[in-house]
Structure 1
Amino acid sequence: MCKMLKHFLSAFPLTAGLLLALVSCNETGSSQAAAGSPEPPFVPAAGTTATGTATNTPGAPTPDSLHLISPGRAGRLRLGMTEKKLLAVVPAGQLRRTTYQDKGLTLPAYEMTDAQQPAAPATILHLIGDSTHGYILRRIRIYDPQYRTAEGIGVGSPFGAARQNLGLTKVRPTPAGFAAVSGQVQMAWVIDPNSLPTKHPEEMNSADIPPAARITGVLLYR
């Protein structure tokens, strides 16, 4: 196409020089674009995809399906499941009956050990209900670092990673300790008290928590 255009322009000497220069510039620009790699129109911020979806935190371990934390779920456990279902999915050898106190009431609970790492900290399962209508799983307290979100956040993670990837609405006291609460997904991230500012208020803004503060527990609630 370019050869035909140059042949045609040779018949018009007054304008040929200018137009041939334009053709030459276009050819040069095209060859440079083909040779190089143009920058993408959008470069997502660290920790997100182009659609804004959270990605795995660099260096964080990826959990298997038995240790994956998601809203209302921790591995095979699901908030709201009946005690009967709970006993069907967790082997009896991993459960120890116990109780907890709530508003003056003594309610049943279980301590659940991990099948893969029996020496890991037990997961605490709080039930609610009564003996007449039965009990359901109300809360899950996780202290085992094997449990992680899809982004790789769990016990031992820096608070800054949770703040970047998860919706944290407030930081306040919870039944499990001083924690950053995400009301949207009903999770709370218990923060190491030794890494908090001294004499901190009862409620804090998540921006006031040091990014390096360590998560010591995860609370799933309903």
Structure 2
Amino acid sequence: MQCLSPTYRATAWAAFLACGLAACDSPTGRTPASSGSAGTPFEAGNTATDPAAAAQRLAANANVPDSLHLISPGRVGRLRLNQTEKGLLALVPVSQLTKTSYQYQGATYPAYEMRDAQEPSAPPTILEMDGSEKEGYRLRRIRIRDPQYRTAEGIGVGSPFGAARQTYGLTRVRFNEQDYVAISGTMRIGWILDEKSLPAKHSSDMSSADIPPATRITGVIVVR
């Protein structure tokens, strides 16, 4: 074996150490530090030492919907509030729609039950219109009972109320028409709550702090 001088050996060892440190700091070798901010509604600050928080994060990520089932302010999938009935019928195949009606403030308006093309047996989404025959009808409100539809944060039918409250900062819960609904003003979304999970002798206007976090969301209302 060729004998190396002490100077050469020292230089080579220093280069090896420098290379090893660079690898540890590379994008593929680096372990991200805990940011301390919650990436999901129930994620703890350090999931590396909190297996339960890590499991909750994975569950939330699994609930992130595809673009056709995404709930966002003023939109549900490809549907957007205030679009015309003509535009709606051009967007959704007639085979998925059943025409119906609903009552609002003593008047009757047209509505559609929309079946999901991927899961025809899922609860239909109700598309409520307003306007008049003379001026035409527009999409006013969307009622969802199908758990496939969720927000980008993974909140939807079946989620615990505590997740919605922590994520969207809800303040009041009110009886609205036929349901108890927690309203998120910034999202323009109402979360229909399972009334059987509410405290006994509850009022029609409650603080969200009085709602048990485990109360299930049974429906979602997207409004203008």
Q: TM-score, normalised by structure 1?
A: 0.76
Query: For residues 154-213 of structure 1, what are the alpha-carbon distances to aligned partners after superposition, in whole Å with 9 as ceiling and x for unaligned?
Result: 000111111111131311012351011012221100000111001101111111111110
Given the alignment, which residue of 192, 208, 218 partners 2:220?
218
Which residue is equivalent to 1:129? 131
Equivalents in 2 of 1:129, 1:141: separation in Å?
A: 18
- Residue 161, structure 1, aligned to residue 154, structure 2: no
Q: Secondary structure at the match of 1:173?
A: strand
Which residue is equivalent to 1:25? none
Equivalents in 1 of 2:207, 2:170: separation in Å?
A: 9
Which residue is equivalent to 2:15? none
Which residue is equivalent to 1:174? 176
Identity over the aligned pairs, expressed in percent?
Answer: 59
CA shift at 1:47, angstroms? 3.0
- 1:62 partner amino acid: V
- 2:66 partner amino acid: D
- 1:120 partner amino acid: A
Given the alignment, which residue of 38, 41, 44 partners 2:37?
44
CA shift at 1:78, angstroms? 0.5
CA shift at 1:136, angstroms? 0.3
CA shift at 1:44, angstroms? 1.6
Q: TM-score, normalised by structure 2?
A: 0.75
- The answer on whether the counterparts of 1:176 and 1:219 sit within 8 Å (CA) in structure 2 is no
CA shift at 1:83, angstroms? 0.4
Equivalents in 1 of 2:39, 2:134: separation in Å?
A: 52
- Residue 184, structure 1, aligned to residue 186, structure 2: yes
Q: Which runs of 5+ in 1 are unaligned?
A: 1-33, 50-55
Equivalents in 2 of 1:115, 1:184: separation in Å?
A: 30
Which residue is equivalent to 1:95? 97
Q: Which runs of 5+ in 2 are unaligned?
A: 1-23, 25-29, 44-55
- 1:128 partner amino acid: D
- The answer on whether the counterparts of 1:99 and 1:108 sit within 8 Å (CA) in structure 2 is yes
- The answer on whether the counterparts of 1:126 and 1:140 sit within 8 Å (CA) in structure 2 is yes
CA shift at 1:103, angstroms? 1.1
RMSD: 2.5
CA shift at 1:119, angstroms? 0.2
- 1:197 partner amino acid: P
- 1:93 partner amino acid: S
- 1:162 partner amino acid: A
